[in-house]
Amino acid sequence: MSKVISIEKAINTIKSGDTIGVNSFFSFGNPVNLMQKLYERVIKKNDLENLSMYLSSPCGYFDEDYPSEKIFSTDAVKKLVCGHFTSMPLAARRIAENKMEGYNLPMGILSHLLRAGARGEKILLSKMGLNLFSDPDVGRHGLNDISNEKLVEKVDIHGEEFLSYKVPKLDVAFLRGTYSDVNGNISFEKEYSVIDALAMAQATKLNGGKVIVQVEKMAPGHRSPWNIVVPGMLVDMVVLCPDQYEKAGIYDYDKRMSGEEKPTAEELINYVIDNSKTFKEKRGVAAEVICKRAAQCLKPADNVNIGVGVGEGVAFQAVQSGMLDKITLLVESGGVGGVPVGGKFFGATIGADSCISMASMFDFYHGGGIDKTFVGCMEVDKYGNVNAHGLAGKIVGIGGFADITQNAKNIYFCTTFTSGGLEVELDDFGNLKIINEGKFCKFVDKVHEVSFSSKNSYATNQAVYVVTERALFKLESDGWHLVEIMRGVDLQKDVLDKIPFEIVVEKDLKFMEK
């Protein structure tokens, strides 16, 4: 019997109190049609309450009117657990206003919790998150006054500390694929990532829940069994949504991002050149200087993670410097090789050599497989801790930042030295001129949130740097050392006077070569 039904019938199977897992990475894999139809049911019938939503990564697109976000405007959703919130402004605002419970945990942990659920486990033990905000001794994962559920506990096993994470029990899974047959075998030909689709489906079925998948159309013909991401035995309902990619915001489907086509070397270079121009226009001269200096740290055979933010430009520099074919660029959503795409399409990869599930990528990250990572940050303190996910009154979310930085061998925090109006330019001789200084220095006495812990770093002998437009810093056992300065910068006035604690200036202080 065919598993294809109308989207209305599928949505009508949802009950009050259900926990719904949503497989998405921003707009990629995002089951927008199902989310919108759920919202429409709530608005029309007002017959659902106490819903919980579980997402490893966000389902937003930086717009409160985005179809998959509208459900968070209703009182039907009691709780949201997610790895990142910036692209979900409506959900973030509702949480900030104490109108909805909100919980934030490392994205890799949330992904691995789904796989633990697929094994029928009740808890996940991990050292990931120790000494960070998710550690009950350090911070809290609840984002407002009403978010008091204990999703994490600290435990001692044979004299070693671990965090014990509570595995969610999913009643419903919302997935998006490309094609289905009548038996519900789902393939992902047009998707840019499979994310956690299989683990989420397995965990939901094991819990006795319902797996609902939206697809563009029925499969046009035979598909190799190797191309089936979610087998039909795990799928309860399939709904046809011919407009799903347009509704998700991907108006121009790019075959080079789904892997249907491999870009030529010339196409890849042209793509990078076009996007590096856009990056410079958006981020400015300071970001370009930062990324050029950071990219000089790349070495042949490096496995490299590129984070969202200023660090995105390092990927562009790698191509322009001829390093792309000598290193492997990675992104947490699963892309291996090629060039990670930044901005609103962060998570996609153009010209990937292969794609794996998000949980498998985080296995590699947690195991220390990253040689170098280039990520942004908000604050750096005198203890060597870094904040990248939350300031007072602002809900951002950790994303994959903690999973990446806790375990990478070499970390480059790429950020402007100040924020809030910073404007710089380079003269004809390559000297940096500060036209307008930013209001806030990124170096502070103590960070608001601990996204990266120097305690962890010292224990594992990581090499840690902060790359700014005016200076390069390295974390040593006695604190931060200033090892390079940009030409044209006044050491005392432009650097030391603005840092609220003492740092060590290397005796052989060098000039940054952009």
Q: Name the residue among 392, 382, 365 with its Cα closest to residue 307.
A: 365
The pLDDT of residue 152 is 98
Closest CA to 363 of 338, 389, 327, 400: 400
| pLDDT > 90 in the chain, percent | 84
Active site residue 216: no
Stronger pLDDT, 430 or 493, i.e. the higher one: 493
What is the dihedral angle through the alpha carbons of 443, 444, 447, 452, rounded to the nearest 10 degrees?
30
* 8 A C-beta contact, residue 419 and residue 440: yes
For residue 386, pLDDT over 80 is answered with: yes
Question: To the nearest whole number, what is the mean pLDDT of the chain?
Answer: 94
Joined tokens for residue 7: 């989207």
**Strands of 168-219, DSSP E:** 172-176, 179-180, 186-187, 210-215, 217-218
- pLDDT average, residue stretch 499-512: 96
Over range 173-182, report the average pLDDT.
97
Mean pLDDT on 166-173: 98
Neighbour tally for 224: CB within 10 Å: 7
- Whether the predicted pLDDT of 27 surpasses 90: no
Over residues 43-74, the pLDDT tens digits come to 999 999 999 999 999 999 999 999 999 999 99
Choice among 332, 449, 469, 484 that is catalytic: 332
The span from the CA of 384 to the CA of 368, in Å, is 20
What's the average model confidence in pLDDT over 171-183? 97
Q: Contact, 514 vs 487, CB < 8 A? A: no
Contact between 155 and 161 (Cβ < 8 Å): yes
pLDDT (0 to 100) of residue 230: 98
Angle at the Cα of 353 (from 349 to 356), degrees rounded to 5? 75
pLDDT higher than threshold 70 for residue 146: yes
Query: Is the pTM higher than 0.75?
Result: yes
Q: Three-state SS for 338?
A: coil
What's residue 343's pLDDT?
73
Question: Which pLDDT score is estimated for 280?
Answer: 67
> How much of the chain exceeds pLDDT 70, in percent?
98
Taking every pair of Cα atoms in the chain, the longest distance, rounded to a whole number of angstroms, is: 76
On whether the CB atoms of residues 443 and 498 are closer than 8 A, the answer is yes
Q: In 3-state terms, what secondary structure has residue 56?
A: coil
pLDDT in tens, 98-119: 999 999 999 999 999 999 999 9
Packed helices 358-366 and 107-118: angle between N→C axes, nearest 10 degrees: 120
- Cβ distance 75 to 97 under 8 Å? no
Q: Are 311 and 291 in contact (CB under 8 A)?
A: yes
Task: Give me the pLDDT at residue 251, please.
Answer: 63
Backbone angles phi, psi at 444, to 5 degrees: -135, 165
**Is residue 272 pLDDT above 80, yes or no?**
no
pLDDT, one tens digit per residue, over 279-308 is: 666 778 999 899 999 999 999 999 999 887
Task: Please enumerate in sequence order all residues whose Cβ is within 8 A of that of 382, keeping only pairs 6 or more positions apart, or say none.
Answer: 443, 445, 446, 479, 480, 500, 501
Q: Which residues contact 267 (CB under 8 A, 6 or more apart)?
A: 256
Which domains, ranges and CATH numbers included, belong to the chain?
Answer: 7-247 (3.40.1080.10), 265-511 (3.40.1080.10)
Chain segment 67-97, per-residue pLDDT in tens: 999 999 999 999 999 999 999 999 999 999 9
Closest to 245 measured CA to CA, from 262, 261, 257: 257
DSSP, residue by residue, 266-327: HHHHHHHHHHHHHHHHHH-HHHHHHHHHHHTT--TT-EEEE-SSTTHHHHHHHHHTT-GGGS
The answer to whether residue 393 scores a pLDDT higher than 80 is no
pLDDT given at position 307? 82
pLDDT at 211: 98
**Cα–Cα distance, 53 to 71 (Å, whole number):** 10
> Which amino acid is residue 262, in one-letter code?
K
Residues 328, 419: Cα–Cα separation, whole Å: 31
The band of 439, judged by pLDDT with boundaries at 50, 70 and 90, is: very high
| pLDDT value, residue 514 | 62
pLDDT band, very low/low/confident/very high, at 199 (cuts 50, 70, 90): very high
How do beta strands 51-55 and 77-82 pair?
Answer: parallel
Total number of residues shown for the chain: 514
Please report the pLDDT score of residue 484 as a whole number: 98
- β-pairing verdict for 390-391 and 152-157: unpaired
Least confident of 258-262, 381-385, 449-453: 258-262
pLDDT at 81: 98
Dist CA 28 CA 187 (whole Å): 14
Confidence of residue 275 (pLDDT cuts 50, 70, 90): confident
